[in-house]
Amino acid sequence: MCGIFFRVVRDVEDSTCDKVQLQRIRDALRCRGPDCANTITIELNNVGKLTFFSTVLSMRDPLTVQPLQSVDTTNILQFNGEIYDVAGDLKEYGNNLLLDEAELDNDQIGPGRNDTSLVMHLFERFGVQMTIQCLRGEYAFVYFDRANQTVWWARDCIGRRSLLVNSSVPGEFSLSSVPSFDHEKRKNWVEVKGGSLFKLDLSQMNLETEIPWTVDENTSNLTYPYSTISHTAFDEYKPEQFYLSEFESILREAVQRRVLAITHAAHSNYAILFSGGIDCTVLAYHLITILHDHSLTIDFLNVAFENPRTGGGYNTPDRLLGRRSFEELSKAPGCVNAKCKLNFVEINIPFHEAQEYKAQVIDLMYPKQSVMDYSIALAFFFAARGVGHITLSFESGQLSQKAEEYSTPSRILISGLGADELYAGYSRHSAGFRRGGYDTLAEELALDFGRLHERNLGRDDRVGANWGKELRYPFLDEDFVKFSLECPLSYKIRADFESEFIGKYLIRLFARKVGLYRAAEESKRAIQFGARSAKMDIGSGKIKGTDTFL
């Protein structure tokens, strides 16, 4: 995880740059990348002054200082994210990018090379567009091609990392992982659209090119590594066992890629955002079985808020469910003899502490401004911080109760985001199915998946990364997305004999297969209600989630 800030100013003396605001942005970027901070400044004739400021949260050896500048060409790369594989025409460059389980030496976890340096090499040798077509991972970047005096930038095709752009002032152009913290100036900052690659000709500051991702392979644009959602309801030729087996193996590989992409020996902890719901419990199962024979620690981060409006203390729905699912995992056949240690970490947030950080959370989640976005962002903000108490621990086959203050050292946060959008986890999906059958369901799912970059991912990245953490999304792995979009709709929603609709059908099948029977029966509960971070002020019950703060 890294922090990116880039600005080009044609007339430095007339620049609207505010030094105080720039410093606040840099401070916020240092929170994202505490291991390294560096600036490169260039002045180009007929262009102006270019400033590249980067911070680094080092996840792979060796620590690569950013902005990364090539020796021969003086091109500059700012890269935020992880590359898990290289496919297509450049697939040979994916060799040894990550180690396979069979290659691990005892407890050693890690990839074979640094991905930022790899991306720079591929950009210079094959060009940006061809390289982006072949990369698989979660990233955002800014790349300066000095010879052609162009700047390229993008989020990955799903949009899993934050990147904002401001081109509102003539003669100025800015990109950043976080927005301006000035309430007036930040109105011109918008999220870079996921699903497009952008290029700016610096000699003509108003000449911006957008290269979109598309499902059409016969195009000069970029081609998605997956197709549009299938409208097929049932598969008459392949049995249920086929889809269950594919689901299991592809999701396991997706989790494995996100677990093994770390090298530092000091990083012996992993963490998962854990509400106890079926999505995160299934991911936790894979996490435990992948790390089964390694002396590592997995922290289960469960957040609860003191909500004066609802009362009830910290025994929130997600707290009760989280404990129950944690205990069920400890008894599951694939987990019971695990060598790794499991910690259930209760993160209790008093009302006064939530209020103390309210302004910061609102700033970080911008350009999202709604009450609902704040409720969700608040929960992610404190869950990602990972400061609480270990109350349950599972080690050497024994489940024990504790009361130990704790702060997770893990820099990796596994998130279950994407399962609802791919497998019909929201009530509106059931409503769409009831209204128009599987065709309407497919339309609703396509809409939700297509706007993840705008509705969820940028916001979650900005608030979670504030603590020097990196969110990783196994359900949004490109291979898993491809399988899920092609999967018949009956494995997403199915009607039972009582005419009730069962969403996330295939995920529930898998949970039952591995012994997670109670988790398999859990219904969807939004994090803001499960953790009680929604509408915490007395008298706020009538406020709508779509209302804005600003």
Asked whether residue 206 falls in the same domain as residue 277, the answer is: no
Q: How confident is the model at residue 101 (pLDDT cuts 50, 70, 90)?
A: very low
Asked whether residue 270 falls in the same domain as residue 202, the answer is: no
Query: CATH number for the domain including 279?
Result: 3.40.50.620
Asked whether residue 154 falls in the same domain as residue 287, the answer is: no
Asked whether residue 499 falls in the same domain as residue 386, the answer is: yes
Higher-pLDDT residue of 213, 264 = 213
Task: Evaluate whether residue 50 is within a structural domain.
Answer: yes
Percent of the chain with pLDDT over 70: 91
Query: CATH number for the domain including 89?
Result: 3.60.20.10
Per-residue confidence (pLDDT) for residue 17, from 0 to 100: 60
The two structure tokens encoding residue 477: 């792995």
Mean pLDDT of the chain: 89
Q: Name the 3-class secondary structure at 211.
A: strand
Per-residue confidence (pLDDT) for residue 260, from 0 to 100: 81
Asked whether residue 131 falls in the same domain as residue 78, the answer is: yes
Closest among 185, 206, 187 to 19, alpha carbons compared: 185
Q: What are phi and psi of 25, to 5 degrees?
A: -65, -45
Task: Evaluate whether residue 339 is within a structural domain.
Answer: yes
Q: Report d(CA 271, CA 383) in Å as an integer.
A: 10
Residue 189 falls in which region: left (phi positive, over 0), alpha (psi -120 to 50) or beta: beta
Average pLDDT over residues 112-124: 84
pLDDT for 520 beyond 70: yes
Task: Evaluate whether residue 538 is within a structural domain.
Answer: no
Q: Which CA distances in Å does 45 have to 10, 50, 51, 117, 149?
A: 10, 11, 15, 28, 11
Asked whether residue 168 falls in the same domain as residue 288, the answer is: no
Per-residue confidence (pLDDT) for residue 499, from 0 to 100: 55
Higher-pLDDT residue of 16, 23 = 23
Q: How confident is the model at residue 96 (pLDDT cuts 50, 70, 90)?
A: low
Q: Up-side HSE of residue 285: CA atoms within 13 Å toward CB?
A: 29
Query: Rounded to two decimals, what is the model's pTM?
Result: 0.93
Q: How confident is the model over 218-263, as pLDDT tens digits?
A: 778 899 999 999 999 999 999 999 999 999 999 999 999 998 866 5
By the 10 Å C-beta count (0-12 exposed, 13-18 middle, 19+ buried), 54 is classed as buried
Asked whether residue 273 falls in the same domain as residue 191, the answer is: no
Domain that holds residue 134: 2-223
| Per-residue buried b or exposed e for 310-337, using 16+ beta carbons within 10 Å of the residue's own CB | eeeebebbbbebbbebbebbbebeebee
Task: Evaluate whether residue 261 is within a structural domain.
Answer: no
Asked which of 223, 248, 278 is the last residue of a domain, the reply is 223
Task: Evaluate whether residue 116 is within a structural domain.
Answer: yes
> Which residue(s) pair with 398 in the sheet?
395
pLDDT for 393 beyond 90: yes
Which residue carries 């910690």 as its tokens? 343
pLDDT for 369 beyond 70: yes
Asked whether residue 209 falls in the same domain as residue 334, the answer is: no
Task: Evaluate whether residue 255 is within a structural domain.
Answer: no
Q: How confident is the model at residue 103 (pLDDT cuts 50, 70, 90)?
A: very low
Asked whether residue 340 falls in the same domain as residue 205, the answer is: no
Asked whether residue 150 falls in the same domain as residue 296, the answer is: no
Asked whether residue 36 falls in the same domain as residue 156, the answer is: yes
pLDDT for 104 beyond 50: no
Q: How confident is the model at residue 522 (pLDDT cuts 50, 70, 90)?
A: confident
Q: Which of 98-107, 185-194, 204-213, 527-536 has the lowest mean pLDDT?
A: 98-107
Q: Report d(CA 114, CA 420) in Å as an integer.
A: 33
Asked which of 223, 258, 282 is the last residue of a domain, the reply is 223
Which residue carries 């944690």 as its tokens? 326
**How many domains does the chain divide into?**
2
Q: Name the 3-class secondary structure at 26.
A: helix
Task: Evaluate whether residue 545 is within a structural domain.
Answer: no
Q: Which CA distances in Å does 193 have to 190, 364, 451, 454, 482?
A: 9, 18, 10, 7, 21
Asked whether residue 215 falls in the same domain as residue 283, the answer is: no
Q: How confident is the model over 482-504, as pLDDT tens digits?
A: 999 999 999 999 876 555 678 99
CB atoms within 10 A of CB 523: 11
Q: Up-side HSE of residue 261: CA atoms within 13 Å toward CB?
A: 30
The two structure tokens encoding residue 228: 């549009």
Asked which of 223, 255, 277 is the last residue of a domain, the reply is 223
pLDDT for 90 beyond 60: yes
Task: Evaluate whether residue 322 is within a structural domain.
Answer: yes
